[in-house]
Structure formats: structure tokens, C-alpha cells
Amino acid sequence: MRIDNSKEWHWLAGGIAVSLLSVATYFIFASIAGRNYPFGITAGFGYVAARIGAFFPALADNPVIRRFGDKPDAFIELFILVGLVLGGYTASRLSGTRSAENIPAVWVRYHGKSILKRYLFVIFGSIMLGYGAALSSGCTTGNILQGWAHLSLGSIVAGFCFFAAGIAVARILYPKTEGGNDND
């Protein structure tokens, strides 16, 4: 059913909406978790990692596993992840923008339709994403949407490094682009 008939939202509308969400959640987070936790994503994945890590006795006293397994913010962020899935689902349903795409169409055009090749990139890329986010204590949400807004020195450095490495990798993967018509 197509209820949301608006075109893709403008960046200004989307940006202001996200800023209101991130400030509002800061207040709510503080009142239910008892301290200031900025709105984030990484700790939700950390919670999943901690649950998996619980199967390994050698990790029982690991500080990272304990931090993500015990603190309330990781538990809340796990449900932020579930909410993100539901939000993405609802948006794609209501706006009629759902597609059956598995591997990105642009990837297929430039790197072939081998599922194995793409999945190897997905696995390596996402493991690096997890490791990097844990080491720099935040992902794009925590370090840029929150950290840059706080003007935290650590987040400013981390955010610039996100772009620097991302730009370098993108140039290696797509040394030349054709300016064609794919835009999904």
C-alpha cells in the first residue's frame, strides 16, 4: 500500500529531522538509563557480540564483552537496531520503493554478478566496520551525528579518518565511473 507519496526527502528536511531525534533521545536516554548516553548504533552490535562471546569461557572476563553485555545502553541500542529494521521496512512499503535487490546494481555493473565475490567483500567490509567502530568508540552516528555536534576532539579526528579511508577505497573500487542511469 502506498501511503507516503512524497518524493525522496530533501537533505535539509532529513537533516533537521535527525537532529531533533538525536537531541530528544539524549533527554529520554538520560532519564531512563540514569546517565548521558548519546544516541548510538555500535553498542547494539556490541550486545550481539557479547551474547555470542558468552559461549566462549575464555572471554568471560573480557572487559569489552562485559561492557557491552552489562550496560543498559547496549541493550537499548540493540532495540534501536530492531527499530531501524522496522523503520526501513515501513518506509520502503509505504513509499513503494521496495526492490528485490540483493547485491547493489551498481556493484554488479562494475564488478560482475558473482555472489561469492560480493559476499566476501561484505564479510571483510563489515568485520572492519565492527572493529573500527569499537576501536574509535563510535560509528557514523556516534562519532559524526553526535560527536561532531558535541565538538568532541576524538570524534572530529575519527570522523575525518572515516572519510579519508572511505574515499581512498572508493577510488580503488571505482577508478572510473560512466555517469549512467542506475540510481538504486
Partner 1 sequence: MTTINILFGLAAGFVFGYILARTGITKYPRVMGMLLLKDFKILKFMLTAVISSMILFHFFGDLGLLKVVPKNLDWGKPIGGLIFGAGMGILGYCPGTMAARIGEGKKEAILAFFGMSAGILVYAITIKPVKATLLSNELNGDIFALLGVNRWLVIAAAAALFAFVIRFVDGKFDDGRRVF
Q: Which of 3, 11, 57, 116 binds partner 1 (CB under 8 A)?
A: 11
Contact 182, 109 (CB under 8 A): yes
Residue closer to partner 1 (CB basis): 1 or 85: 85
Contact 155, 143 (CB under 8 A): yes
Q: Which of residues 83-112 bind partner 1 (CB under 8 A)?
A: 83-92, 95, 97-104, 106-107, 109-110
- Here the cell at position 133 is 567502530
Using DSSP's 3-state secondary structure scheme, residue 3 falls into: coil
Cα 129 to Cα 106: distance, rounded to the nearest angstrom: 21
Alpha carbon 58 to chain centroid distance?
A: 29
Least CB distance to partner 1 at residue 25 (A) = 5
Cα 47 to Cα 161: distance, rounded to the nearest angstrom: 25
Least CB distance to partner 1 at residue 56 (A) = 9
Interaction between residue 128 and partner 1 (CB under 8 A): yes
Q: Which of 27, 70, 113, 117 binds partner 1 (CB under 8 A)?
A: 27
Least CB distance to partner 1 at residue 140 (A) = 4
Least CB distance to partner 1 at residue 177 (A) = 5
Interaction between residue 60 and partner 1 (CB under 8 A): no
Residue closer to partner 1 (CB basis): 112 or 161: 161
How many residues does this entry show for the chain? 184
Least CB distance to partner 1 at residue 131 (A) = 4
Q: Which of 60, 70, 113, 171 binds partner 1 (CB under 8 A)?
A: 171
Q: Which of 2, 5, 116, 180 binds partner 1 (CB under 8 A)?
A: 180
CB count within 10 Å of CB 184 equals: 8
Residue 72: exposure state from Cβ atoms within 10 A (0-12, 13-18, ≥19)? middle
Who contacts 89 (Cβ-Cβ below 8 Å, separation ≥6)?
Answer: none
Interaction between residue 141 and partner 1 (CB under 8 A): yes
